[in-house]
Structures are given as structure tokens and as C-alpha cells.
């Protein structure tokens, strides 16, 4: 009897050993796959703002200084005055964000943080609270170079166009018609103010191009090397919006929050001052050649200067920064008297 019990005990022990061996030989359970990063999201309304910005910049930079009559000057004034300062600023920042999204190192670095919900939420909160945080992200140097090349170069081109137009205020005085007074001067000023308060609509083709570039289905024609910090506040805001897009946190549902991130007060003030100076200039100018001066100096040069400064580029002039004249229209009268003296 005892031998039978011992035999059964031995069989039980062998079974336990076999089960243990088999368990050790079994394939380990596969690890759960890492969560996929969220899809890149950049609100359509931001793309439309960028497209509207590009529409204004391309048309205004193409203004020719070769004027043959007052009608051409009037049309050029309408073109150059046709932007609302906050919309133009938001459009420039949005365009800069699309430019930053062209940098694969920056996109890959931000995406690496996006798979962990806790990390993604913290980065989102940090970027919204302080857009300067974007400068600390890997790839920020090369992305910043693209942002600066985007609206910095366009601002410079607009400024140079304005310089040529301003010179035309002197050259055109050789033509008798240029010394005749502008008709409906009050209407001209009111039209400039109305255009300055009317949102721009970009072209469909450009909107589609920017949308594709934002999600990696197309590219922008930009080339720039890395730029070391510190960066201007406007550039930092473009980087922040681009980072939020990679995190999947810049969709249309975030449009209101993004507005707060995008509007840079110093650049907004500069563009507003450019507008006020334009209005003051038009209020006192009489002959056509004085309108050319207003067009070149305030509508084009001042606006281009604001964008260059917003991109962190050197001030293209040695004169004082754009300011509203303390003495009102009298300051413009002095400036325009210099146009007459030459």
C-alpha cells in the first residue's frame, strides 16, 4: 500500500516538473504596440489666414513704380491698403507655422512626445502658457530658419517695392499730370479706411497648396539654414503653432485658443501705426505725386518694415521706428514738403 502511494507521489512530482518545463518553453506574450501619434491638425481657418496673407503680399509686392496717371496710383493705393492689421499678422504667423512644418527634424522631435497622453498634455499646456517654450524643442533652430525666411523675406521684398515707389514720388513730378490735385480726396481716404477693416480672402489654389504643405503632401519653396536663438516673439509664435499642430492640438476646435497664441502685441501695434500714418498722409496730400509718397512710405515700406522686425531681421532704415506723429497731420506736411523741394 505504501509503495503505491509513493508511486503516485512520484508521478505527481513528474507532472509538476513537466508543466514547469513546458511553461518555461512557451513563447512570451507579445508586448502591446506603442500608441500611434495623433494626426497632425492645423485648423482650416488658419490655412485660410495664411492664404489671405500670401494674397496681399504677392499683389502689393508687385506694384510698379512706373505710374502714367492718377488712376494707376489710385488702384495701387487700394491694393496696398487692403489689409486688416490683425488678420495680416495672424496670416503671417500661420504661414510661418506651415513653414516650420517643412522641417522634418522639428516635426519628428515633437511627434516623439505626442504618443504619451500625459507628456502631450503637458507640452500642450506649456506651449499655450508660454510660446517661447517652442525654442527649447529639438529641431527648433532649423525650423526657425524656415520661419524667418518665410515672412522675413517677404517683408523685405515689400519694403524694397515701397522704396522704389517712394522714389517715384520725386521722379514722377517731371510729368505735368502728377502735379494736379487728386479728385475726391475725402472719398479716397474713406476707401482706404474701409479696405483696412475688410478681411482678405486668399486664392483657392494657394489655400490648397498650403494645406498640402502643412500635412506633408507638398512642399513650400523655402530654403534656409539653422538660426540660433534668441528668436523674435513672432517667430516663437509660429514655432508654437507648428508644434501644437504636430501634437494634434491645433485643429478648428482650438481656433479661439490659437488666436491668443498667434497675436503678437508689438507687431500688431506696428501694423496699426503704419495704417494710422497712411491715413494722416492721405488726409493732407493733394497732388498725385504726394499720394505716391503716401503709398510708398506708409502703405508699403512701413508694412514691410513691421514684418521684417517681426521676423527678427535688422531694421532696414536708419530712421526712427514707425510712429504716429505727435503733431498729427502737420508732420506729414513737413515730409511732403520735402517731396516738393526736390
DSSP characters for 209-231? Answer: HHHHHHTTSS--S------PSP-
Q: Which helix (H) or strand (E) holds 337?
A: helix 329-341
pLDDT tier at 27 (50, 70, 90 boundaries)? low
- Do 103 and 142 touch, CB atoms closer than 8 A? yes
pLDDT tier at 340 (50, 70, 90 boundaries)? low
Please state, in angstroms and rounded to a whole number, the distance separating the CA atoms of residues 38 and 111.
8
Neighbours of 276 (CB within 10 A): 17
Please state, in angstroms and rounded to a whole number, the distance separating the CA atoms of residues 225 and 234.
19
- Do 47 and 94 touch, CB atoms closer than 8 A? yes
- Do 276 and 324 touch, CB atoms closer than 8 A? yes
pLDDT digits 0-9 by tens, 252-298: 999 888 888 998 999 999 999 999 999 999 999 999 999 999 999 99
**Is pLDDT at 328 greater than 80 in this prediction?**
no
pTM: 0.84
Sign of CA dihedral 236, 241, 247, 249: positive
Which residues sit opposite 181 in a β-bridge? 287
Please state, in angstroms and rounded to a whole number, the distance separating the CA atoms of residues 305 and 333.
22
Mean per-residue pLDDT of the chain: 86
pLDDT digits 0-9 by tens, 122-180: 999 999 999 999 999 999 999 999 999 999 999 999 999 999 999 999 999 999 999 99
Percent of the chain with pLDDT strictly greater than 90: 71
Instruction: Residue 114: name the closest of 274, 8, 249, 303 by CA.
Output: 249
- Do 316 and 268 touch, CB atoms closer than 8 A? no
Could you write out the three-class secondary structure of 159-203? Answer: HHHHHHHHHHHHHHHHCHHHHCECCCHHHHHHHHHHHHCCCCCCC
C-alpha cell at 122: 503637458
pLDDT digits 0-9 by tens, 81-94: 999 999 999 999 99
Q: Which residue has the higher pLDDT, 258 or 96?
A: 96
- Do 262 and 89 touch, CB atoms closer than 8 A? yes
Please state, in angstroms and rounded to a whole number, the distance separating the CA atoms of residues 280 and 243.
40
Amino acid at each position: 500500500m505504501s509503495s503505491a502511494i509513493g508511486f503516485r507521489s512520484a508521478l505527481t512530482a513528474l507532472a509538476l516538473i513537466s508543466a514547469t518545463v513546458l511553461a518555461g518553453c512557451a513563447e512570451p506574450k507579445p508586448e502591446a504596440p506603442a500608441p500611434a501619434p495623433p494626426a497632425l491638425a492645423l485648423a482650416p481657418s488658419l490655412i485660410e489666414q495664411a492664404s489671405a496673407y500670401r494674397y496681399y503680399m504677392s499683389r502689393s509686392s508687385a506694384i510698379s513704380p512706373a505710374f502714367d496717371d492718377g488712376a494707376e496710383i489710385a488702384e495701387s493705393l487700394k491694393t496696398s491698403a487692403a489689409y486688416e492689421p490683425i488678420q495680416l499678422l495672424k496670416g503671417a504667423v500661420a504661414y510661418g507655422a506651415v513653414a516650420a512644418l517643412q522641417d522634418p527634424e522639428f516635426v519628428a522631435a515633437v511627434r516623439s512626445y505626442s504618443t504619451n497622453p500625459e507628456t502631450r498634455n503637458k507640452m500642450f499646456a506649456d506651449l499655450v502658457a508660454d510660446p517661447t517654450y517652442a525654442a527649447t524643442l529639438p529641431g527648433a533652430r532649423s525650423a526657425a530658419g524656415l520661419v524667418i525666411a518665410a515672412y522675413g523675406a517677404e517683408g523685405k521684398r515689400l519694403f524694397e517695392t515701397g522704396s522704389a515707389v517712394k522714389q517715384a514720388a520725386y521722379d514722377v513730378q517731371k510729368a505735368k499730370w502728377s502735379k494736379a490735385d487728386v479728385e475726391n480726396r475725402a472719398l479716397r481716404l474713406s476707401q482706404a479706411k474701409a479696405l483696412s477693416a475688410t478681411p482678405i480672402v486668399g486664392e483657392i489654389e494657394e489655400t490648397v497648396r498650403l494645406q498640402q504643405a502643412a500635412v506633408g503632401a507638398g512642399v513650400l519653396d523655402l530654403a534656409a539654414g539653422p538660426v540660433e536663438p534668441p528668436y523674435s516673439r513672432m517667430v516663437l509664435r509660429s514655432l508654437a503653432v507648428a508644434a501644437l499642430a504636430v501634437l494634434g492640438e491645433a485643429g478648428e476646435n482650438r481656433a479661439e485658443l490659437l488666436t491668443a497664441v498667434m497675436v503678437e502685441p508689438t507687431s500688431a501695434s506696428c501694423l496699426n501705426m503704419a495704417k494710422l500714418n497712411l491715413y494722416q498722409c492721405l488726409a493732407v496730400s493733394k497732388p498725385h505725386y504726394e499720394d505716391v509718397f503716401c503709398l510708398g512710405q506708409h502703405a508699403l515700406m512701413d508694412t514691410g518694415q513691421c514684418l521684417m522686425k517681426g521676423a527678427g531681421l535688422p531694421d532696414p532704415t536708419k530712421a526712427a521706428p514707425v510712429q504716429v506723429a505727435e503733431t498729427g497731420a502737420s508732420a506729414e506736411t513737413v515730409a511732403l514738403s520735402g517731396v516738393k523741394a526736390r
